[in-house]
Structure 1
Amino acid sequence: MAEIIYMPQLSDTMKEGTVIKWNKKIGDKVSEGDILAEIETDKATQDFEIDVSGVLLFIGIKEGETTRVNDVLAIIGYEGEDINHIISELHKNKEEKNQKIFISPIAKKMAKKIGISIENVQGSGEYGRIVKKDIESYEKINLKEKKGKNQKTIVHSSIRKKIAEHLTYSKFSAPHYYLFSEIYADKLIEFRKNLNHKLSLEEKISFNDIIIKAVAQSLKKHPDINVSWNDEKIIIHPHIHIGVAVAIQDGLIVPVIKNADQKSLLQISKEIRDKVLRSKSKKIQPEEIENSTFTVSNLGMYEIESFTSIINTPNTSILSVGSIMVRPVVKNYKIEIGNIMKITLSCDHRIIDGVKGSQYIHSLKNFLEDPITILF
């Protein structure tokens, strides 16, 4: 007997999914455990593994299209099975759903003829009823957009929409303030150079690896920074999980280095490289981008001198790291040429006051200006 496959909920916050790729086509045999499709959620692109066997008889959504969780994704049955009655029932249910939208008969007829989805039309009639002029107005606006010269549009991906929601919530719920500091980076450069001299090409340590280790060590000294806010209490985390902001095509993703304070520089380096590669190819798993307690955003490789970041809630702070730049510096009352790296700590003022944030920055500065100390 044919079985309907529904759009799965692949993360706890997923409301809709986009089929990036079908790995099977209609008529193909499928077995339990096969990867039927690649589905983009609000967090990552994941393989969808089916738990039934049979023949793929129907595909309910094309590649690149989006549908809600629990909407029909596919139908699997035995070869030659008649599923017309199932498809008819699905279409009937969809029509009944559409009928719940208040729309005049003439407006509904016009929308069907033109090919407009009435879910996208805002009604101006009584109780939000869609009338003739609403369809005409919608068609006119869309026609104008299509005729616009050199105008391109990109439909928001599920990941992009989730990022937008997350950042908007953070920016307007957490009162941000910023602490700026400069790191004398001469010893940091020398420390990395000496480390990499002893390592193979595949094991090179980056400045970002050292920064993450220093951030973790500083959090051990200041557990009151390694916290989260909710409306009833402050949560002090017993573990130190560092999120690393990574740019991807759809925006930003934050893979997490868990228990970073307990890992060596080499372990951190290998883990970051692996997770960055899988983040950019959308192969990272949801559990690998969850439960961070602090986040680092580094734009130093793009020659950005300094910047501020929006806190990655439920974290209460995020460190922004700029590029190491050659600058005149004052040492022993003399002007010399040195290397300066600017950092910014964004803090949630509901939990972290200026003194706490400054004390944390002071410890981090000490670690980075004498990085051999992060190894002890």
Structure 2
Amino acid sequence: MAKIVELPRLSDTMEEGVIAKWHVAEGDKVKRGQLIAEIETDKATMEFESFDAGVVLRLLAPEGETMAIGTPIAVLGKPGEDVEAALAAHGSGGATAAPAEAAPEPAAKAAPEPAPEPAAAPTEAAAAPAPSATPAPPASPAEGDRAPGRIAASPLARRLAREHGIELSSITGSGPHGRVIKTDVEAAAAGRAAAPGAAPAAASVPAGVELDASGRPLLVRPDEPVKLSQMRKAIARRMSQANAEIPHFYLTTVVDMDRAVALRDQLKSAIEAKVSFNDLVLMAASRALRVHPEVNAYWDGQTVVRRGNVHLGVAVAVDEGLIVPVVRHADQKGLRELAEQARDLGLRGRDKKLAPQEMSGSTFTVSNLGMFGIDEFSAVINPGEGAILAVGAIADTVVVVDGQVGVGKRMKMTLACDHRVMDGATGAKFLATMRGLLEQPLAMLA
């Protein structure tokens, strides 16, 4: 029997996904391990390889549609096999697949109901000749206002009058036999806008335009709902969870980065690998976490769990939002190795080439916005961690050293802490250790 291919779980936090691109079409032969689709998850767009071999009998999921984990997305089998029988045997997947196509039909039948509008045209057309059929002379404006029955007007004039909120009975027609025409309505609308005691101005301007207090027209732009990516949905869900469940408090310290800047300049010529200031921060954080294991911990709902390993999450900005690649066993790596791995993870993360295991399991996260010119900020703790470090830009600052005023390189760091896991003194000691390492960076290289 044909086999049903389901939407797989490609990350530990994935709850739904989107087929970003199919790499096969119906009728194609597929081998086991062959790339058949790219699937957008909450963390990245992942390649999905087939677990089975066969012919693509049917593609059930269109590109761009959000689906839950386990939803049937394709049917593989031998040519001529019964797809409907396979879907029925699959259970709920087959039950939902068939009615989905038939569902729009009732709506399509109901669509013609708004047909009254076309019918209005013949009515107006029939009404238009009425004045010429009447031998009586055209009524004066005063008589026309008081006359009962339908006002003679062209269909276009009626539509314009409705748009401007003007009663046809208040307009003097200049058409044949006093018929109200387009220019009559436009003149009336212009007169209302100019009159000091006119009716509300908004009723006399075209749709999509408002007038300010001075009568100047302003273009009104509608709100635009934005379709969320799977990553943006995951960020919204997890950050809402973090703010609702984790009692945050924040500690900020200022670091003297003069020696760190000088060391980085020396390293540029001493080694081939590129070393950034963020790499120095990552190294200091990994060493400080080893000294303060109480910060490398999290609240599991009942107790505090101290992590055995130091796995550093490195926040990386991408078009859709934010990803956090993980440098594993960061405390056991030298500066060059740590820098190379962090750089590689960041580049592949922006290209959506990271595997799920490379974006999960972090025990502490560093988020650096210094390259964007941000001096100081507070970050939100990732669920499953006990703290996150927010790093600002290195800036020239007026400082006093040994009683002398000068200029120094200074950087602010803010530690967000989970109050269930640690207290203020614990976080302060951790920051003091980090500050000492960054102010004496050669100690980290020893």
SS at 2:294 equivalent: coil
Residue of structure 2 in register with 1:178 after alignment: 250
Residue of structure 1 in register with 2:293 after alignment: 223
Residue of structure 1 in register with 2:4 after alignment: 4
Greater relative contact order: 1 or 2 (C-alpha under 8 angstroms, separation 6 or more)?
1
User: How far off its partner does 1:13 sit?
Assistant: 3.3
The verdict on how the C-alpha distance between 1:55 and 1:221 changes in structure 2, with shifts beyond 3 A counting, is same
Q: Any idea what the Cα deviations from partners look like across 1:316-360, whole Å, max 9, x if unmatched?
A: 111111001111111011110111111111111112111111111
Q: Any idea what the Cα deviations from partners look like across 1:223-274, whole Å, max 9, x if unmatched?
A: 1111111222111111111110111122111111111110011111111111
The verdict on how the C-alpha distance between 1:170 and 1:87 changes in structure 2, with shifts beyond 3 A counting, is closer
Residue of structure 1 in register with 2:264 after alignment: 192
Question: Following superposition, which runs of at least 4 residues in structure 1 exceed 3 angstroms of deviation?
Answer: 79-92, 95-98, 107-114, 148-153
Q: Any idea what the Cα deviations from partners look like across 1:99-131, whole Å, max 9, x if unmatched?
A: xxxxxxxx99448746xxxxxxxxxxxxxxxxx
Residue of structure 2 in register with 1:345 after alignment: 415
For residues 382 and 360 of structure 2, the distance between their equivalents in structure 1, rounded to whole angstroms, comes to: 11
AA of the residue aligned to 2:254: E
Cα pair 2:87 2:95 within 8 Å, conserved:
no
Q: Does 2:300 correspond to 1:298?
A: no
Q: How many residues end up aligned between the 2 structures?
A: 336
For residues 322 and 295 of structure 2, the distance between their equivalents in structure 1, rounded to whole angstroms, comes to: 23
Match of 1:327 among 382, 397, 406: 397
Match of 1:316 among 354, 370, 386: 386
Residue of structure 2 in register with 1:137 after alignment: none
Residue of structure 1 in register with 2:165 after alignment: none
SS at 2:394 equivalent: strand
Q: Any idea what the Cα deviations from partners look like across 1:81-103, whole Å, max 9, x if unmatched?
A: 453555688897128988xxxxx
Match of 1:163 among 215, 232, 235: 235
Q: Any idea what the Cα deviations from partners look like across 1:253-304, whole Å, max 9, x if unmatched?
A: 1111111110011111111111112211222111111111111000111111
For residues 87 and 313 of structure 1, the distance between their equivalents in structure 2, rounded to whole angstroms, comes to: 38
SS at 1:271 equivalent: helix
SS at 1:347 equivalent: strand
Gaps in structure 1 of 5+ consecutive residues: 99-106, 115-147
The verdict on how the C-alpha distance between 1:236 and 1:110 changes in structure 2, with shifts beyond 3 A counting, is same
The verdict on how the C-alpha distance between 1:280 and 1:286 changes in structure 2, with shifts beyond 3 A counting, is same
For residues 301 and 15 of structure 2, the distance between their equivalents in structure 1, rounded to whole angstroms, comes to: 25
Q: Percent identity?
A: 38
AA of the residue aligned to 1:32: R
Residues 264-303 of structure 1 mapped to structure 2, 5 A cutoff = 264-303=334-373
For residues 153 and 55 of structure 1, the distance between their equivalents in structure 2, rounded to whole angstroms, comes to: 40
AA of the residue aligned to 2:30: V
Please tell me the root mean square deviation across aligned C-alpha atoms, in Å: 2.6
For residues 56 and 20 of structure 1, the distance between their equivalents in structure 2, rounded to whole angstroms, comes to: 18
For residues 266 and 273 of structure 1, the distance between their equivalents in structure 2, rounded to whole angstroms, comes to: 11
SS at 1:64 equivalent: coil
SS at 1:328 equivalent: strand
Residue of structure 2 in register with 1:61 after alignment: 61
Cα pair 2:11 2:357 within 8 Å, conserved:
no
Give the TM-score normalised by structure 2.
0.70
